[in-house]
Structure 1
């Protein structure tokens, strides 16, 4: 059977500012679901409907709740059969139901309603767990005959389609104020607590088995999207991270300061400096010792209280600094061990795969930015293609759109993991950041930013008639000579703005307070950053100015004279520390620049020590779980254990310890 499609042209709309771009963890629910499917999959959706009609043969909307449950349970039972073809056909029927039984609806709003209703029904009946098991079977069996088209990845694509749809529906419901499915959301979150770490590990292994240059059955885009959205649901979104950070700081008696992003979001149109300045304890101590040495020619280590003899203006400045003193949560992480969390379990699962995963992210970024060949045929190349000019145009748009979505998933997932690890334990964050730096992630980010960034932000690869669910509601897309060719008049591409913002945030997190990485930034990135400033968006401008602030002191007098406008923006829009001498080199900065590798080596040793202490593998179990967790069975029998093993037995400790004394 042959299909032809109505395609709308893809145009670039040029503007100078992007004031209405609202940054968030993800795009809208409708757009996220649409981006999961490629335009080439439109031909397969009709097959799902045919299988449903053959197996069920009834209108889903006209069934009562009990009949729907019995249909789903019957299909679930067929997933346990040995015949792989039968399992796949029944999985396609489940996917059709999860998509909202689109053949029975008249509009997108009705399709979304049934999609939501059906997904919670599937979740109640254990479909998600069943598809996790199906994913494990598919991973083990594999596909030996690879054709270099979508036929290679059919099994994975259908399985991931059901999993992704349920995850997105639950995540959307969790973030909404509607209480209709509140209990179902809680049940699902409790359900994934037991399987979350194992599923994340398997998805990471699936990602790292992908090869950018050779045929593969792994649908990379879908794997990355499922991994990203599942971690977003399992560990939490930005609001959850901020709440966790605030709670931990309050528990440890630390002062919580709003981040620059939070202040910017609250005061979008205020034209004054809103940031509360920070100063670290080390900077206060350094200032006091310098003052003592200046007036009395001696210093007192670890003493910030003895101010006798110092001039009144010095004492007043010290009081001001102490008023704005800020102790970061990372200091507490280093001094004392925190309670184990879900983030610890995710870190432990990811630790053996960090290098491969970060290398994959870096390689994908490089290949897509340089327009090199990337192996995505198993998600974009149909089994049978009608080579008409209008389809060729759509195929080219599909490829470009596909690459953009991969970049979106890579940037979103990388930033999400970095933020969770930094809130949980500083060495977990530093471990991932170190791996990203070593595989060339910093340089590849600047390769992305060196493009014509303003044009890139305005280029929107988007054909609405082929977007899900518009491609299926009301029948398959058709093309005739009367079809008008139009364009989507958007001021910007939300997807590309999201990627750019994420990459700038990642660069800030990886580079901050690291002399060697700042030196890399100085060598490769300054010109790119000045180009990014052409994008008149407050958030992108903030992160770009932060990066320029890091390298400004190394640029010299000539650069400062020719970039007074940029320097003025940094003063107005970036938070400063009270003792921050960011514009001019000091003796300490010169020493750091000459000895930039030493801090990296020291940090690597601290990371290795942390990983060996809490996540080492071998005969002696030294993981955090073994140190901090007591099983429920042992807890119930604890008093009996004390009575029989401790109180009723006497030990000769001198004899036991004789060999060690």
Structure 2
């Protein structure tokens, strides 16, 4: 009867001893902490990720193209060669003199207006070839940096020649041509319109949108280098390039010649047309990337937003505030939370069994509980722990965590990961000192034995920055209304009286209350949002006597006016595209097909849509080389394509929310409401309800086929790089610090969007609770990147009071991370309040009031542009811009002092007007004086 436990402990010791060689090998690597993020048997490393507007230029340009478009590079070069032969010149662009280059550029612009589609297509290929850096110039040698510099130089050169408007005009022409073809196909399809639509959706391939892809790629190559200020350009041309860049930014906000809308609005209209099924051939990835970079160039990036926010606060007489992105760079990631195993055990045994007796676990001291991640104080599981682990997710509980607990209970040190090992002691470099043997394994040292003295706690390097700041990273904030609420509560408590609207009087209150009020006033923060709301309330209350000051014509204001009539359709289209690109989305017949610029006419779209892309058959003995290469390429290309679509769509949404929030809070709220109504919150949660750590590490790139490496290889060898196993299985993907920049960037963007939509909105916070976002966000904390974790902790903080006391008790490590990393509101009881009985409909009045305020704002400021849909208090028929409702200036001083512009015709005929209107007019002066005297006497 006693052999069972002995056998169990022996098998556990054998398993741990079997891992000893792997552990020793791991510790001897150059980076001791380099462990796979998805591995539950080690300490997750910190990700060395720098959050910025976008990635480096080479990565951004390479993501524009799919691997299916590899042959288009060669076609572009061949088109330029034919053009050079026709003009009897060398096919080397860099060898031409500037005047000759300008003549060619003007000729290309003129040819873009040709009637023949073939001539326009060849001209577009030549333009794109030049914007790609004229890579045939590097056939004799050159690296990718030189090619990128040539691409940027050609972009400035062609823009100065007038290429931007020529490409925009060609874009409108090709959109019209595709729309006509789709209309004809729709009429020919007969009565079965649904079946015809599905057929057209499935048949959308690269062959259907060649001119459109070339135009969008050329515009992207024109915009992306010109908007960047970090390019290495000749010093003698810097002044000219700065001038061209300013002109370029101004031109992006102007309507294009072939339309009354700017380029940004045209791209939004392409999205809605694509999602409605009218134009399923549009290459959506290129549209989204071009839209993102156009917004980034016109509106500005994160650094521009910070500068504009500081300027607006300074103009309003408010102090500058802390920048989240700047402070997050100095923060250290929190430890990964404890995730229970699938079998329900608390240990790391893959079979679900406990790694040690449960009684020993319950008996550990409180210090051990602070070191463990998200372990219940009484050994019980949290009520939501059953949902913490999706199917197939590997165990996150490792044997090392159990040994941390044992060492703490015996007085050992647990401050460094090296103390968690159960094998013979290893120094900081991973070397074994020989004090233990591999055969004994973890069972060679008893739990009650003292900690080994040969491994002292490693001192902190003197040159390294402190791991944790001595103070909290954020200054607390308090609102004015929170001080008023605090005083009202204290007055009711001590004297049972109220002074509504009074936040100053503290007479009769005890001295500690005075000190509390002084502490609150010390941290009062007045936001631009509060000032804008107060101003809007005054304008709405006194709509006949007050008039809004002149509205600043910022790029965000101009864009909002253009987007306002169709914002709901634009947001729905953007979320539909994100849904189709979600990593967990399955192939559905009714889903939109976003792979029109990935699939070739020879590829079966149904097979591609169902391909997982995560595993490939690489048995070369049974698979022909060309089929192997095509299957691997298409599978990787589809996954890469979806990742880029998510990256671009999330960046567009975040840019719009941030800039509209800075411009006016109700513009931001209007956009946010339509995102919420279109189910943006559950869509984002669906994105994170996956193995997010594996998604961030997913390798779906073939570097030899990326731009500009591929075109440089073609220029030197006249062939494309060959695909091999080394291109798929790169060694850096196995490193713990490895990540894919675009995937981590997309994840942070989605977290920021979710935070923007739910912050200070109780009804939307309850949506997070109803959709069970807490386990999802808890799993996401395994990604050890400070900014990523910061927004996860913010989302957990805002819903902590709704999750109940038991959840907070079971997740004390998360609560501690929230306290140390998230800004505090001094009157916010997020850590102690309990509102477990609240329901989503309890806060619907707040949403209704916000919706009414937003519609009233739009009706007042943009009443002549939209037809309000609200019927509350007759707002739908209320036009605040009606001249009858405008304030009337009856001050004689301002009227006589007003300056009027007289027309040339009036100046010429002034004497005739004076003779007819003044000299010949009969005025009864006596009656006039009598009337004036009567008015004066009154």
Instruction: For residue 592 of structure 1, report the CA deviation from its aligned partner.
Output: 8.5
Instruction: For residue 26 of structure 1, report the CA deviation from its aligned partner.
Output: 0.7
Q: Which residues in structure 2 correspond to 1:562-573 (within 5 Å)?
A: 562-573=810-821
Instruction: For residue 462 of structure 1, give the secondary structure of its aligned residue in structure 2.
Output: coil
Aligned counterpart, 1:245? 309
Q: How far apart are the structure 1 equivalents of 2:49 and 2:102? A: 42
Larger Rg belongs to: 2
Instruction: For residue 175 of structure 1, report the CA deviation from its aligned partner.
Output: 8.0
Contact 2:860-2:880 within 8 A present in 1 as well: no
Q: CA RMSD in A?
A: 3.1
Contact 2:205-2:281 within 8 A present in 1 as well: no
Q: Does 1:640 find its partner at 2:866?
A: no
Aligned counterpart, 1:182? 242
Match of 1:512 among 735, 739, 759: 759
Q: How far apart are the structure 1 equivalents of 2:728 and 2:641? A: 22
Q: Does 1:437 find its partner at 2:676?
A: yes
Q: Does 1:229 find its partner at 2:293?
A: yes
Aligned counterpart, 2:62? 34
Contact 1:449-1:528 within 8 A present in 2 as well: yes
Aligned counterpart, 2:217? 161
Contact 2:639-2:700 within 8 A present in 1 as well: yes
Unaligned stretches of 5+ residues in structure 2 = 1-35, 186-199, 333-466, 536-547, 604-624, 867-878, 888-897, 908-912, 919-927, 932-938
- Give the TM-score normalised by the residue count of structure 1: 0.89
Q: How far apart are the structure 2 equivalents of 1:31 and 1:418? A: 25
Residues 204 and 396 of structure 1: CA distance in aligned 2, closer, same or farther (over 3 Å)? same
Match of 2:585 among 371, 376, 385: 371
Instruction: For residue 301 of structure 1, give the secondary structure of its aligned residue in structure 2.
Output: coil
Q: How far apart are the structure 1 equivalents of 2:849 and 2:104? A: 61
Aligned counterpart, 2:171? 135
Residues 520 and 481 of structure 1: CA distance in aligned 2, closer, same or farther (over 3 Å)? closer
Match of 2:700 among 461, 464, 467: 461
Q: Which residues in structure 2 correspond to 1:575-594 (within 5 Å)?
A: 575-585=823-833
Q: Deviations over 1:178-212 (max 9, x none)?
A: 73522221222233232386211111000111138
Contact 2:472-2:820 within 8 A present in 1 as well: yes
Instruction: For residue 339 of structure 1, report the CA deviation from its aligned partner.
Output: 2.6
Q: Which residues in structure 2 correspond to 1:13-24 (within 5 Å)?
A: 16-24=44-52
Q: Deviations over 1:466-503 (max 9, x none)?
A: 11111111213243889886426140111110111111
Q: How far apart are the structure 1 equivalents of 2:327 and 2:679? A: 32
Match of 1:73 among 106, 126, 130: 106
Q: How far apart are the structure 2 equivalents of 1:277 and 1:512? A: 16
Q: Does 1:102 find its partner at 2:363?
A: no
Contact 2:598-2:638 within 8 A present in 1 as well: yes
Tell me which moved more, 537-546 or 215-224. Answer: 215-224
Aligned counterpart, 2:516? 317
Match of 2:533 among 310, 317, 334: 334
Q: Does 1:487 find its partner at 2:730?
A: yes
Match of 2:255 among 195, 209, 213: 195
Residues 565 and 331 of structure 1: CA distance in aligned 2, closer, same or farther (over 3 Å)? same
Instruction: For residue 640 of structure 1, give the secondary structure of its aligned residue in structure 2.
Output: coil
Q: Does 1:350 find its partner at 2:593?
A: no
Structure number with the higher helix fraction is 1
Q: How far apart are the structure 1 equivalents of 2:45 and 2:164? A: 43
Instruction: For residue 308 of structure 1, report the CA deviation from its aligned partner.
Output: 1.9
Q: Deviations over 1:344-364 (max 9, x none)?
A: 111111122222222123223
Instruction: For residue 262 of structure 2, give the secondary structure of its aligned residue in structure 1.
Output: helix
Aligned counterpart, 1:44? 72
Instruction: For residue 165 of structure 1, report the CA deviation from its aligned partner.
Output: 0.7
Contact 2:125-2:214 within 8 A present in 1 as well: yes
Match of 1:85 among 118, 122, 136: 118
Unaligned stretches of 5+ residues in structure 1 = 1-11, 629-636, 655-661
Instruction: For residue 489 of structure 1, give the secondary structure of its aligned residue in structure 2.
Output: helix
Q: Deviations over 1:338-390 (max 9, x none)?
A: 53322111111112222222212322333332333451342012245796111
Q: Deviations over 1:305-353 (max 9, x none)?
A: 2222222221111111111101111112223355332211111111222
Q: Which residues in structure 2 correspond to 1:241-320 (within 5 Å)?
A: 241-266=305-330, 269-271=467-469, 272-320=471-519
Q: Deviations over 1:148-176 (max 9, x none)?
A: 31011111110011110111001113788
Tell me which moved more, 95-104 or 251-260. Answer: 251-260
Q: How far apart are the structure 1 equivalents of 2:903 and 2:839? A: 55
Q: Does 1:218 find its partner at 2:320?
A: no
Contact 1:285-1:304 within 8 A present in 2 as well: yes
Aligned counterpart, 1:521? 768
Match of 1:551 among 799, 805, 819: 799
Tell me which moved more, 53-62 or 496-505. Answer: 53-62
Tell me which moved more, 463-472 or 225-234. Answer: 463-472
Contact 2:654-2:753 within 8 A present in 1 as well: yes
Tell me which moved more, 270-279 or 118-127. Answer: 270-279
Tell me which moved more, 615-624 or 272-281. Answer: 615-624
Q: How far apart are the structure 2 equivalents of 1:307 and 1:298? A: 12
Tell me which moved more, 304-313 or 560-569. Answer: 304-313
RCO comparison, higher one (Cα < 8 Å, 6+): 1
| Alignment: residue pair count | 630
